[in-house]
Amino acid sequence: MDAFLPGVHWLMFSRVPVRILGLALFATCAALLAFGLYLQHIQGIEPCPMCIMQRYAMMVCGVLGLITGLHNPRGRGLLVYAALLAASALAGAGIAARQSWMQWYPPAVSECGPGLEYMLESFPLSSALPMIFRGAGDCSAIDWTLLGLTIANWSFLVFASILLGLGVFLLQRRKTRH
């Protein structure tokens, strides 16, 4: 790409306004969440507890993108938003990685566990979270694929892309300030 546009690097996030990047993140997360709802309500694919936790992480990323786009922070405010976004994307990537592992190496005994809502209503959070991350039989099920990758695999790639893009943005921003 550099051969076509000398002096312009294709990953120049630091030149794109923070407002545009935040709103683009929001739009991307909203589209992915809408697709998840389409798979659930139109295609009849019920999400497992780990899928729902990934949705929450995606919602937080999207809301942070929207707030960033509307607020257009500078300096330390931008770093606060970046830290919150990184934490949410890391949580989502961790959950997606765990679910992907369960899909590649399913447990010997595959039982359907209780749903997320039941676990959160019936158990204290300190007991429910380990149950969620242990996964249920339905967390290892592969109901849908695209290009050979499951929903959990794609979710991991999206969260990893958010982290990579955020890292590149912050590094470029740091270089342009010094």
pLDDT tens per residue, range 70-125: 988 888 888 999 999 999 999 999 999 988 888 887 766 555 556 667 777 777 87
The letter for the amino acid at 42 is I
**Domain ranges, residue 170:** 23-103+116-177
Per-residue 3-state assignment (H helix, E strand, C coil) for 66-93: HHHHHHCCCHHHHHHHHHHHHHHHHHHH
Query: Which comes out higher in pLDDT, residue 32 or 14?
Result: 32
Residues 6 or more apart in contact with residue 141 via CB below 8 angstroms: 48, 103
Enter the tokens of residue 9. Answer: 């690097």
Residue 5 lies in a domain: no
C-alpha to C-alpha distance for 114 and 8, rounded to whole angstroms:
52
Cα R_g (the chain), whole angstroms: 19
Of the candidates 162, 161, 140, the residue with the CA atom closest to the CA atom of residue 151: 140
Is residue 162 scored above 90 in pLDDT?
yes
If DSSP codes are grouped into helix, strand and coil, which group holds residue 146?
strand
Question: What local confidence, expressed as pLDDT, does residue 116 receive?
Answer: 67
What single DSSP character describes residue 163? H
Q: Domain count of the chain? A: 1
Residue 144 lies in a domain: yes
pLDDT tens per residue, range 144-156: 766 888 889 999 9
Give the CATH number of the domain where residue 28 resides: 1.20.1550.10
Is residue 39 scored above 70 in pLDDT?
yes
Residue 165 lies in a domain: yes
The letter for the amino acid at 55 is R
C-alpha to C-alpha distance for 166 and 173, rounded to whole angstroms:
10
